[in-house]
Amino acid sequence: MKKFISYSIIIITSFLSGSVFGQVECVTDPPLPPVLTSVSVQPETGNTMFTWTLSPSTGIAAYILYSYKNGDGMPIDTIWDPAATSYTLSNTATKYFSVAYVVASMRLPRCTSIFSNVLNSIFEVAAIDTCLNKIRVSWNSYQSVPAIPSIKLTGYSVLLSVNDGPFTISGNVSASETSYTLSDFNIDSEYCFEVRANLEGGAFSTSNKTCLSTKMQRPPKWINADQATINQQNKISLTFTIDPQSEIRQFNLLRKTGTTGTFKEISNLVSVNGSVNFIDNLANPDSINYYMLSAVNSCNLSVMESNIASNIVLSSETSGNNIILSWNPYKNWLGTISSYRLFINTGTGFEEKAIIPAGDSVFIQAYRQIMYQVSGNEVCFYITATENSNPHGISGESISSTTCTMPTEIITVPNVFTPDNDLHNDLFRPVLSFTPVQYHLVISDRQGTLLFETRSYLEEWNGSRNGNPQPQGVYLWFLKVTTPTGKEISRTGTVTIVSK
């Protein structure tokens, strides 16, 4: 037992004496550190490559690599080769952030130099700005601390690969800059970037590789303004059809009134099943309004606009016995106007009256052609325009505003007729330019004898009484009618029977 204790004391004493000697030597003649000349990331693997100069001190046994933060070093590995000047670290940390490194030289037993200069790995990130159609690449500065003349930075090169193509230099910036902006790019592509710190003498250090996709919402290739039409509530109803391949669902509706106006946003709309519908409750349907639908991306920037649509305003005026209808041609289908159709309501509902060529915008309606159909207190018209040859297979139809005019209430009473059965001027009847609501006609001779009476405006007097022809002479008539507009008219006069 005593021998074991003695032996142990000898071993400990020997160790302590060597340790003290080593400590004294390390304090009086410490090894000098190497110069860390390069920290470069292999972009494809994420491994980090280091190079340094040999320590000028003698007796160097190894080099120790540290990660460095806030003045403290965390040893990573010891390279037991006094001639080593490079090392590759299999560590993916540099893929996610910048790491600072230092290196130290070491003599045995465990006499380590102070830390070398500090170098950071270059960590770069890329961010896409779809609103401005730009990609910004940024990175940390690659500078030696303290500065080492042999590691003088001359600038940075930004390398670019598109869709796995070869890396080429996209741009160069100065040593004081740590960002680069790619001003334009293609959508639905993959862009990869590397940053290279260029050093004097042709050496360089490389960053990690970062990639991003430029896939964005696919904008519509077309927006079709189907129609601007007047609905039954006398409001302007709009319909738009969107390219079904579009990934954009947000739209702005713009309107201007009159040809000299400017387009202003009136509503933000969302497409449903490739269609946008809107009823403009604020626009005056008796004014010409122009509409355009704009697709907007997530940055609220317009990326596609529709063709322009306009409502049709129909107007009427009476000139003599004619009603003159005029309208603005429909604007602006992607197809063509096949024709206009005219509808008329004389008191019993709208019916199609005429088909008008697409190039016309005026129609003259002779009142005599419709006067016996008029049973209401106004005559109303509207027209429709129909599209054909639309490139997207859509057929629009636009209904105009409705225009109405008062009936021309004219009563004409002949003052002579010849009831001789020659089929010419044989019958007497007041001629009305309208269908009366009420009608009463009485004819008598000069002595007041009743010869004829009717309450039907279509019934005519043949110049007889109870089947007996009346002699040539002057006869009295009395007429009372109520017009479609509610006027009550009473007239009297004479009619002469002439025998040939």
Q: Which fold has domain 411-497?
A: Immunoglobulin-like (2.60.40)
Among candidate residues 107, 45, 55, 111, the one with its CA nearest the CA of residue 83:
55
Q: Report strand pairing: 250-257 vs 289-296.
A: antiparallel
pLDDT for residue 169 is more than 70: yes
* Tokens coding 126: 């890329």
pLDDT in tens, 406-421: 877 788 899 999 998 8
Spatial distance between the Cα atoms of 171 and 427, rounded to a whole number of angstroms: 102
Per-residue pLDDT averaged across 200-216, rounded?
92
Q: Report the pLDDT averaged over residues 351-359.
A: 95
Tell me what pLDDT residue 25 has.
67
Amino acid at site 387: E
The pLDDT of residue 5 is above 50: no
Torsion of CA 101, 105, 111, 117, to 10 degrees: -40
DSSP 8-class letter at 490: E
Segment 237-276, tens digit of pLDDT: 999 999 999 999 999 999 999 988 899 999 999 999 999 9
- Calpha distance 282→264 (Å, rounded): 13
Q: Contact 60/34 with Cβ under 8 angstroms?
A: no
| Annotation: CATH topology of 31-120 | Immunoglobulin-like (2.60.40)
pLDDT tier at 136, thresholds 50, 70, 90: very high
The pLDDT, as a whole number, for residue 486 is 84
What was the pLDDT predicted at 374? 82
Give the closest residue to 325 by CA, choosing from 379, 285, 364, 369.
364
Superfamily for the 222-311 domain: Immunoglobulins (2.60.40.10)
Give the homologous superfamily in CATH for domain 124-213.
Answer: Immunoglobulins (2.60.40.10)
Mean pLDDT of 335-347: 95
Q: Give the pLDDT mean for 474-488.
A: 91
Residue 16: which pLDDT band, with cuts at 50, 70 and 90? Answer: very low
Q: What percent of the chain has pLDDT over 70?
A: 95
pLDDT band at residue 23 under the 50/70/90 scheme: low
- Cα 64 to chain centroid distance, Å, stands at 61
CA angle 124, 171, 132 (to 5 degrees): 75
pLDDT interval class at 129 (50, 70, 90):
confident
Please determine, for residue 20, whether its predicted confidence score (pLDDT) is greater than 80. Answer: no
Q: Is the pLDDT of residue 218 over 80?
A: yes
Q: How, if at all, do strands 134-139 and 204-206 pair? A: unpaired
The predicted-structure confidence for 411-461, as pLDDT tens digits, reads as follows: 889 999 999 888 889 999 998 877 888 999 999 999 999 999 999 999 999
For residue range 225-240, what is the model confidence (pLDDT) as tens digits? Answer: 999 999 999 999 999 9
Question: Average pLDDT for residues 276-302, to the nearest whole number?
Answer: 93
Q: What is the pTM of this model?
A: 0.59
Closest CA to 96 of 181, 208, 219, 172: 208
Average pLDDT over residues 385-398: 95
